[in-house]
Amino acid sequence: MMQDQHKPVEAQPSLSTRLSGEDGGSHTGSGQLRRAAIKAAACLLGYPDDTFWGLLPQVEAYLCNFQDIPSMAVLARTVADLRRLGPSALATLYVTTFDFSEPTALYLTAHELGDSRQRGSALLALRYLLRAAGFELVGAELPDYLPVLLEFLASTPEDSNMGELEHRLAVVCAQIRDKLEDEHPYKGIFTALLSILPGRASSEPRDRFPRREEADTDELPYPLQYD
Protein backbone atom coordinates (compact mmCIF):
# COMPACT_ATOMS: atom_id res chain seq x y z
CA MET A 1 0.00 0.00 0.00
CA MET A 2 1.35 3.38 -0.96
CA GLN A 3 1.92 5.95 1.75
CA ASP A 4 -0.58 8.47 0.35
CA GLN A 5 -3.39 6.00 0.94
CA HIS A 6 -3.03 6.61 4.65
CA LYS A 7 -4.72 9.98 4.62
CA PRO A 8 -6.65 10.58 7.86
CA VAL A 9 -10.23 9.32 7.65
CA GLU A 10 -12.61 11.82 9.13
CA ALA A 11 -16.01 11.30 10.67
CA GLN A 12 -18.42 13.78 12.12
CA PRO A 13 -17.42 14.94 14.64
CA SER A 14 -13.69 14.32 14.18
CA LEU A 15 -11.60 12.23 16.53
CA SER A 16 -9.58 15.21 17.74
CA THR A 17 -12.69 17.23 18.51
CA ARG A 18 -14.38 14.44 20.43
CA LEU A 19 -11.28 13.50 22.38
CA SER A 20 -10.71 17.07 23.50
CA GLY A 21 -14.38 17.29 24.38
CA GLU A 22 -14.21 14.41 26.86
CA ASP A 23 -14.48 15.49 30.48
CA GLY A 24 -11.25 14.59 32.23
CA GLY A 25 -12.61 15.27 35.71
CA SER A 26 -13.98 13.02 38.41
CA HIS A 27 -17.42 12.93 36.84
CA THR A 28 -16.23 10.99 33.81
CA GLY A 29 -18.09 7.67 33.70
CA SER A 30 -16.54 4.29 33.04
CA GLY A 31 -18.33 4.02 29.70
CA GLN A 32 -17.02 7.39 28.65
CA LEU A 33 -13.50 6.45 29.66
CA ARG A 34 -13.78 3.21 27.71
CA ARG A 35 -14.80 5.12 24.60
CA ALA A 36 -11.99 7.61 25.12
CA ALA A 37 -9.43 4.79 25.35
CA ILE A 38 -10.75 3.29 22.11
CA LYS A 39 -10.58 6.72 20.43
CA ALA A 40 -7.00 7.13 21.58
CA ALA A 41 -6.11 3.68 20.23
CA ALA A 42 -7.72 4.57 16.90
CA CYS A 43 -5.60 7.70 16.72
CA LEU A 44 -2.38 5.87 17.59
CA LEU A 45 -3.02 3.30 14.85
CA GLY A 46 -3.36 5.98 12.20
CA TYR A 47 -0.59 6.58 9.70
CA PRO A 48 1.99 8.89 11.36
CA ASP A 49 1.61 11.92 9.11
CA ASP A 50 1.53 15.59 10.11
CA THR A 51 -2.02 15.26 11.45
CA PHE A 52 -0.95 12.37 13.67
CA TRP A 53 1.99 14.28 15.13
CA GLY A 54 -0.12 17.36 15.64
CA LEU A 55 -2.71 15.41 17.61
CA LEU A 56 -0.24 13.28 19.60
CA PRO A 57 0.44 15.81 22.41
CA GLN A 58 -3.29 16.15 23.02
CA VAL A 59 -3.76 12.38 23.20
CA GLU A 60 -0.75 12.04 25.49
CA ALA A 61 -1.99 14.76 27.85
CA TYR A 62 -5.40 13.12 28.07
CA LEU A 63 -4.03 9.65 28.76
CA CYS A 64 -1.71 10.96 31.47
CA ASN A 65 -4.77 12.03 33.47
CA PHE A 66 -5.76 8.38 33.89
CA GLN A 67 -2.54 6.53 34.66
CA ASP A 68 -4.36 4.52 37.32
CA ILE A 69 -6.42 2.81 34.60
CA PRO A 70 -4.34 -0.05 33.12
CA SER A 71 -5.47 0.37 29.51
CA MET A 72 -4.82 4.12 29.63
CA ALA A 73 -1.38 3.58 31.20
CA VAL A 74 -0.42 1.12 28.45
CA LEU A 75 -1.53 3.57 25.77
CA ALA A 76 0.40 6.40 27.46
CA ARG A 77 3.57 4.30 27.41
CA THR A 78 2.92 3.55 23.75
CA VAL A 79 2.74 7.27 22.98
CA ALA A 80 6.15 7.73 24.58
CA ASP A 81 7.60 4.83 22.58
CA LEU A 82 6.23 6.17 19.30
CA ARG A 83 7.42 9.69 20.03
CA ARG A 84 10.98 8.48 20.67
CA LEU A 85 11.18 7.03 17.16
CA GLY A 86 10.45 10.33 15.43
CA PRO A 87 8.48 10.93 12.20
CA SER A 88 10.74 9.25 9.65
CA ALA A 89 11.53 6.10 11.60
CA LEU A 90 7.92 5.70 12.76
CA ALA A 91 6.56 6.04 9.22
CA THR A 92 8.97 3.35 8.05
CA LEU A 93 8.02 1.07 10.94
CA TYR A 94 4.30 1.62 10.29
CA VAL A 95 4.54 0.67 6.62
CA THR A 96 6.77 -2.32 7.35
CA THR A 97 4.49 -3.57 10.10
CA PHE A 98 1.01 -2.94 8.76
CA ASP A 99 1.36 -2.64 4.96
CA PHE A 100 4.04 -5.19 4.11
CA SER A 101 3.07 -7.93 6.57
CA GLU A 102 -0.21 -9.72 5.94
CA PRO A 103 -0.51 -11.24 9.46
CA THR A 104 -0.44 -7.74 10.99
CA ALA A 105 -2.47 -5.87 8.39
CA LEU A 106 -4.99 -3.35 9.73
CA TYR A 107 -7.96 -4.58 7.69
CA LEU A 108 -10.63 -6.59 9.47
CA THR A 109 -12.06 -8.58 6.56
CA ALA A 110 -8.61 -9.30 5.13
CA HIS A 111 -7.94 -11.32 8.28
CA GLU A 112 -11.38 -12.89 8.37
CA LEU A 113 -11.76 -13.84 4.72
CA GLY A 114 -8.36 -13.61 3.06
CA ASP A 115 -8.76 -13.85 -0.70
CA SER A 116 -12.37 -15.03 -0.54
CA ARG A 117 -14.81 -13.43 -2.96
CA GLN A 118 -17.03 -12.88 0.05
CA ARG A 119 -14.81 -10.02 1.17
CA GLY A 120 -16.54 -7.60 -1.21
CA SER A 121 -19.92 -8.29 0.39
CA ALA A 122 -18.38 -8.00 3.86
CA LEU A 123 -16.95 -4.58 3.00
CA LEU A 124 -20.33 -3.40 1.73
CA ALA A 125 -22.01 -4.60 4.93
CA LEU A 126 -19.55 -2.59 7.02
CA ARG A 127 -20.05 0.49 4.87
CA TYR A 128 -23.83 0.23 5.33
CA LEU A 129 -23.35 -0.21 9.09
CA LEU A 130 -21.27 2.97 9.30
CA ARG A 131 -23.65 5.00 7.14
CA ALA A 132 -26.73 3.80 9.03
CA ALA A 133 -25.17 5.23 12.19
CA GLY A 134 -24.40 8.55 10.50
CA PHE A 135 -20.68 7.84 10.29
CA GLU A 136 -19.49 8.90 6.85
CA LEU A 137 -16.05 7.99 5.54
CA VAL A 138 -13.98 10.71 3.90
CA GLY A 139 -10.95 9.54 1.98
CA ALA A 140 -9.74 6.42 0.24
CA GLU A 141 -9.59 3.97 3.14
CA LEU A 142 -11.77 0.87 3.15
CA PRO A 143 -14.51 0.57 5.79
CA ASP A 144 -12.73 -2.35 7.46
CA TYR A 145 -9.63 -0.28 8.32
CA LEU A 146 -9.15 -0.83 12.06
CA PRO A 147 -8.68 2.86 13.01
CA VAL A 148 -11.96 3.65 11.24
CA LEU A 149 -13.86 0.86 12.99
CA LEU A 150 -12.39 1.72 16.38
CA GLU A 151 -13.33 5.36 15.99
CA PHE A 152 -16.81 4.29 14.93
CA LEU A 153 -17.12 1.96 17.92
CA ALA A 154 -16.03 4.74 20.25
CA SER A 155 -18.64 7.09 18.80
CA THR A 156 -21.64 4.79 19.29
CA PRO A 157 -23.93 5.13 22.32
CA GLU A 158 -23.43 2.70 25.19
CA ASP A 159 -26.73 0.96 24.46
CA SER A 160 -25.82 0.27 20.83
CA ASN A 161 -25.79 -3.37 19.79
CA MET A 162 -22.16 -3.61 18.72
CA GLY A 163 -21.28 -6.89 20.43
CA GLU A 164 -20.61 -8.75 17.18
CA LEU A 165 -18.35 -6.01 15.83
CA GLU A 166 -16.50 -5.80 19.14
CA HIS A 167 -15.90 -9.55 19.09
CA ARG A 168 -14.61 -9.43 15.51
CA LEU A 169 -12.26 -6.61 16.40
CA ALA A 170 -11.02 -8.50 19.46
CA VAL A 171 -10.20 -11.55 17.35
CA VAL A 172 -8.15 -9.50 14.89
CA CYS A 173 -6.45 -7.54 17.68
CA ALA A 174 -5.41 -10.84 19.27
CA GLN A 175 -4.03 -12.03 15.93
CA ILE A 176 -1.95 -8.89 15.44
CA ARG A 177 -0.78 -8.76 19.06
CA ASP A 178 0.44 -12.35 18.89
CA LYS A 179 2.39 -11.68 15.70
CA LEU A 180 4.26 -8.64 17.06
CA GLU A 181 7.45 -9.02 19.03
CA ASP A 182 7.20 -8.13 22.72
CA GLU A 183 9.37 -5.05 22.26
CA HIS A 184 7.46 -3.78 19.22
CA PRO A 185 6.29 -0.18 19.87
CA TYR A 186 2.78 -0.85 18.53
CA LYS A 187 2.09 -4.03 20.51
CA GLY A 188 0.81 -2.16 23.57
CA ILE A 189 -2.10 -0.73 21.57
CA PHE A 190 -3.48 -4.19 20.89
CA THR A 191 -2.83 -5.30 24.46
CA ALA A 192 -4.83 -2.31 25.69
CA LEU A 193 -7.66 -2.94 23.25
CA LEU A 194 -7.95 -6.57 24.31
CA SER A 195 -8.43 -5.43 27.90
CA ILE A 196 -11.30 -3.17 26.75
CA LEU A 197 -13.14 -5.15 24.09
CA PRO A 198 -15.52 -7.76 25.56
CA GLY A 199 -14.99 -10.36 22.85
CA ARG A 200 -12.42 -13.09 23.33
CA ALA A 201 -10.52 -14.84 20.58
CA SER A 202 -9.79 -18.53 20.32
CA SER A 203 -6.50 -19.52 21.91
CA GLU A 204 -5.69 -21.39 18.70
CA PRO A 205 -4.79 -18.94 15.92
CA ARG A 206 -5.85 -21.41 13.21
CA ASP A 207 -9.39 -21.43 14.65
CA ARG A 208 -9.81 -17.65 14.71
CA PHE A 209 -10.78 -17.21 11.05
CA PRO A 210 -12.68 -20.31 9.90
CA ARG A 211 -13.96 -18.59 6.73
CA ARG A 212 -10.55 -17.38 5.59
CA GLU A 213 -9.43 -18.44 2.12
CA GLU A 214 -5.87 -18.34 0.87
CA ALA A 215 -4.89 -17.52 -2.68
CA ASP A 216 -5.08 -20.55 -4.95
CA THR A 217 -1.63 -20.92 -6.51
CA ASP A 218 -1.75 -24.67 -7.16
CA GLU A 219 -2.16 -24.27 -10.91
CA LEU A 220 0.44 -21.57 -11.42
CA PRO A 221 3.38 -22.73 -13.59
CA TYR A 222 6.03 -22.87 -10.87
CA PRO A 223 8.95 -22.77 -11.16
CA LEU A 224 8.74 -19.91 -13.64
CA GLN A 225 11.31 -20.09 -16.44
CA TYR A 226 12.32 -17.33 -18.77
CA ASP A 227 14.19 -17.65 -22.02
Supply the pTM of this predicted model: 0.78
Which residues of the chain fall below pLDDT 70?
1-29, 116, 159, 199-227
pLDDT at 4: 37
pLDDT at 1: 35
Where along the chain do its domains lie?
11-201
pLDDT at 24: 39
Q: Which CATH architecture has domain 11-201?
A: Orthogonal Bundle (1.10)
The CA distance from 152 to 225, in Å, is 49
* Cα of 154 vs its chain's centroid, Å: 12
With CA atoms as reference, report the closest residue to 51 among 108, 91, 84, 111: 91
pLDDT at 184: 97
pLDDT at 204: 53
With CA atoms as reference, report the closest residue to 146 among 116, 200, 186, 203: 186
> pLDDT by residue (tens digit) across 34-87?
899 999 999 999 999 999 999 999 999 999 999 899 999 999 999 999 999 999
Per-residue H/E/C for the chain: CCHHHHCCCCCCCCHHHHHHHCCCCCCCCHHHHHHHHHHHHHHHCCCCCHHHHHHHHHHHHHHHCCCCCHHHHHHHHHHHHHHHHHHHHHHHHHHHHHHCCHHHCCEHHHHHHECCCHHHHHHHHHHHHHHHCCCCCCCCCCCCEHHHHHHHHHHCCCCCCCHHHHHHHHHHHHHHHHHCCCCCCCHHHHHHHHHHCCCCCCCCHHHCCCCCECCCCCCCCCCCCCC
